[in-house]
Each structure stands twice: as structure tokens, then as C-alpha cells.
Amino acid sequence: MWSRRGSCVPSPTAAGDPRRSRLAGKGKRVIEALHLSKRYGERLAVDDLSFEVLPGRVTGFLGPNGAGKSTTMRMIVGLDAPSDGSVTVCGRPYTQHGSPLSTVGALLDARAVHGGRSAYDHLLSLAHTHGLRRGRVKEVLELVGLAEVSRRPVRGFSLGMSQRLGIAVALLGDPEVLLFDEPVNGLDPEGIVWVRGLMRELAAQGRTVLVSSHLMSEMEHTADDLVVIGRGRLISSCTVEEFIERNCRTEVRVTTPEPARLVALLEEHEGTVRSEPDGSLVVGGLDAVRVGDLAFDGGIRVHQLVPVQASLEAAFMELTRTSVEYQARTSTGAPDAEVRS
Ligand SMILES: Nc1ncnc2c1ncn2[C@@H]1O[C@H](COP(=O)(O)OP(=O)(O)OP(=O)(O)O)[C@@H](O)[C@H]1O
């Protein structure tokens, strides 16, 4: 178990219940952005962004490519200065913390390591300059699964190995607050599962975990809270449950040997219906009981009637559709949001 030093965050037990922690969150927020903006010349990369990140939780920081996630994270750790507004960690700007590496650990750019150095030497030099004990280097190398290759030059590392080294750097100072910018980039499926588990474990220890991604599917099973941005602006800030409640429509999948009659009947009663390639109908605007009752009253046989929830990914894409900066075109010429894997 890692040590818990002088802390600005409540104990893991106090942070346990999601609703309580959100309600009790006032005054306990660890990262707080207030009207944060960043301008690069003509380009407003972050635009009047306000949000908070709570302890003992994984907060997914989501947005399409170019939404301003990395810029925001750089401002949190003082690598970029806000053009306007402010962002604090435990009530102070990051740069005003005495031992920043022990307060906030960040994986921002996994490739930002001198290629000729070994992972061990890289971590050891960071440990020296930040007054951390030597034994911690071995601990984090083992934790991220790089112990066996730790003496090899980093230039031979794959992207996935570099990501693991970046995570080791973030964990080195045993910080209470962790920022991970797209941590699963380049990781194989086993690595992705490992990162998800690590995030959950760090949050369960009471730490504050902010992790960015442009894919909702990445966050669906990892995050407790979501901060969604598009074109630098806040789109949504809520728990995952609230996001589902607000944005994921429930539809009804129905199969019938008389689809034309059922479509006409449902549309008559304000339902929206689309036909799926497998012959089933997906009905919006009416719940399963109403669809069943209407079919029964109309004398239409129904073979299957299942409520289905639109996926989180679909809701996220719908919500950020107008904020997607880079659009690819499908072969039919229809614009299609670019999804980078
Ligand atoms: N140093 C810079 N100079 C000029 N423009 C920049 C700079 N850094 C970022 N930008 C611009 O700011 C916008 C936000 O970029 P940022 O990298 O923060 O987005 P992101 O959400 O992290 O995107 P991605 O998911 O693609 O990494 C983009 O339009 C980007 O081109």
C-alpha cells in the first residue's frame, strides 16, 4: 500500500459513495477550473471552461480531436499559462506546490524522453531531482510491467512501452492527483485492461484521477464522472449515470411478420420507426408496454419486443457532432466524424 502524506483530499472511505461524494463535493474539489481560456493567436483552444474534479473518483475528460483536452491538462500542470481564468489543484496553482511531483503525477506526452537513456536511468534522475527515494524507481517499474526491460535504451520502446514508462513517471512521486492524457494509446488489449484496472485502483485509494480520451467507449467502464468538451467549450459535466439518463434514449426493438401495418400504426401514435437490416423495427418515442399494447389492439402479431438503450458512444457522438473539428467523408460523400484509434 502506498503512503498517504499530508493531503488535501478526504480519506478514501469519505470519498466512497458516488452520490454522497458529489453532494459533499463542495469544498472538496481537488482540481477546479474557472472560466479557463487559452488562445493561440487566432485560435481559441480552450474557451471559458469551468469544471471540477473530485477525489476518490475517475473523471473522464472527453472530447473529439482538437477539443482542447491536452491544452487544458497542460494548463493544470503549469506547462501552459491560461490566457484567461484559472485552474487550481488543491486550492493553489500547480506551480505553487512545494513538491509538485508528489502532488500531481501526469502522463502528457509519452514520447518526451531522451531516447538514449534507459527507463531506469530516466526514472532515477527524476527521483534524484525531486528528492524521492531510490527504491521507488524499482517499485514503479514493477508496477507498470517494465522491470525486465528497464535497462534498455528508451529509443527502442514501442508506443505501448513508452506509455507504460509515462505512467511510471506519473506514479513516481506517489501523488494524490493523477492526470493521464490518452493513456491507452498504443497499448495492446491486455495493456488497456491493465490501465483501466489501475485507474480504478488509484481512485479506490482516494486519489483524484483525471483521464482524457476521445472515445466514450474507453470511459464507459472506467469513469465515475465525465467532463465533455467540444471546441474548447464545456458540453457536459456530470456522473456517468447522469450522462446516460440525460442523453441515452431508450428505444424498443420489435419484430413482426406484418412490419408495414405495425409501422403505420406506431407512426399514427407519434412513434418514430426505423427498419434494421435484420428486418426488425426500432421504435422511438413509445415505451415497450405501449408498443405491445398498440400491436395487440391492432391485431398485429409480435415475435420480439425488447427495450434497448442507445450506446454511450452514440450519445457522445451525437452530443459532440457539431464540435468535431476534423471530418472524414464516407465513400457516399456523407460527412463522417473521424475516429482515431
Ligand atoms: N502550441 C499550440 N499552438 C497553436 N495551436 C495549438 C497549440 N496546441 C494546441 N493547439 C490547437 O488547439 C486546439 C486544441 O488542441 P488540443 O491538443 O488541446 O486538443 P485535444 O482535445 O487534446 O485533441 P486530440 O484528441 O487530437 O489530442 C487544436 O485546434 C490545436 O490545433
Domain boundaries, the chain: 18-238, 249-309
The per-residue pLDDT for 341 is: 29
Distance CA 196, CA 21 (A): 21
Q: Is the ipTM of this complex over 0.90?
A: yes
The per-residue pLDDT for 244 is: 83
The per-residue pLDDT for 171 is: 96
Any ligand 1 atom below 6 A from CB of 326: no
Ligand 1 center to 232 CA (angstroms)? 9
Any ligand 1 atom below 6 A from CB of 229: no
**Residue recorded with cell 418515442:** 285
Any ligand 1 atom below 6 A from CB of 230: no
The per-residue pLDDT for 7 is: 53
Q: Which of 61, 79, 78 is nearest to 69 (CA)?
A: 61
Any ligand 1 atom below 6 A from CB of 214: yes
The per-residue pLDDT for 8 is: 58
- Give yes or no on whether 18-238 and 249-309 have one common fold: no
DSSP string, 196-224: HHHHHHHHHTT-EEEEEES-HHHHTTT-S
Q: Does the predicted TM-score (pTM) go above 0.90?
A: no
CB 127 within 8 A of CB 133: yes
Going by alpha carbons, the residue nearest to atom 3 of ligand 1 is: 40
- Residues of the chain with pLDDT below 50 are 1-6, 10-27, 329-341
Ligand 1 center to 124 CA (angstroms)? 31
Q: Which residues contact 103 (CB under 8 A, 6 or more apart)?
A: 89, 90, 94, 97, 173, 175, 176, 177
Domain 249-309 matching CATH 3.30.70: the answer reads yes
Going by alpha carbons, the residue nearest to atom 10 of ligand 1 is: 45
The per-residue pLDDT for 334 is: 42
18-238 folds as Rossmann fold (3.40.50)
The per-residue pLDDT for 17 is: 41
Region label for 187, one of left (φ > 0), alpha (ψ between -120 and 50) or beta (otherwise)? beta
Going by alpha carbons, the residue nearest to atom 16 of ligand 1 is: 68
The per-residue pLDDT for 40 is: 94
What is the position in ligand 1's atom list of the atom closest to the CA of 80?
1
